[in-house]
Structure 1
Amino acid sequence: MDLITPAIGLLFWVTIAFLALVIILRKFAWKPILGAVKEREEGIKTALESAEAARKEMQNLQADNERILNEALAERDGMLKEARQLKENMIADAKAEAQTEADKIVAQAQATIESEKKAAIADLKSQVAGLSVEIAEKVVRKELADKDKQLALVESMLGDVTLN
């Protein structure tokens, strides 16, 4: 028996054992192994699809976040602009109201000054008239105290009067 060249009987029995093993494996183990491999393949495929869907969802969420952020920034800018405009309007209204009130106060003060001026002038005229009457009365009394002076005054007045 030579160790390098196999005998035909040995080759026959090894082939029969191999075929029996393949048939037994095919009948009992092949289907479960293929099923497990197929199930594993489907699980991997499902996981990859889920990962792709999650990636797309993350992209959508990121785009939504950017859109929402831009909208929030635009709304903030709009609110700030509106607040500035409201502030400017309030300041302008307050200035206009203050100016109107100041004009009203000035007009009232001018009217008061004018009326007080007229009253002062009227009072001054009254006092001047009173003083003039008193002075005239004193002068006339002094002049009319003497009979000769009275006659001279009457003749002087008559001389001043011209007849038409």
Structure 2
Amino acid sequence: MGWEEELFALFDDLEEQASALYAAERGPEVADRSRAEYRQVLLAGRLMATVGQRVVLGVLGVGMLSGTIERVADGWLLLGAGEHDWVVAFDAVATVENASPRSVPQIAWSPLTRLGLPSALRRIAEAGEPCLLHLRDGTRYDGLLGRVGADFCELAVGEERRILLIAFSALAAAQSRA
């Protein structure tokens, strides 16, 4: 082997060593960046990627709900569960089974996802549908939704249709009865 071939072989060997060192140093850096980026992933983003899939939700004050995520929006999701759909407040969701491993970043969300929980409840109220409201403490109220404020709703309950104000901070889920 001539001196040129030996020199090229030496350069190839040095290049391979440098590549191996770079890869060894880069691995932990990539893993660290990946963890740092994942810190920015929201539950809503994971649920957005799960639209159309069947899930099991653990909901405070309600228990386990099984169904298909139909819509995800600001602070709530719509769970299709056969005859009666559920409007579930995000901050009442304790667990999610069968969620997509992917996530949809907020920048990719439709403008319709900006509609908050009051919008979903107004839709039920405008339809005049009876509903069942589940609170986080396990209390349930059956009635007709009336006006919906910024952080509460009115529910007409009982035969005398007395008006009960329900704070959104206490609401876990609303179930349509139509």
TM-score by length of 2: 0.27
Q: Higher strand fraction: Structure 1 or Structure 2?
A: 2
Per chain length, whose mean CA-contact separation is higher, i.e. which structure has more relative contact order (CA < 8 Å, sep 6+)? Answer: 2
TM-score by length of 1: 0.29
**Structure whose CA Rg is larger:** 1
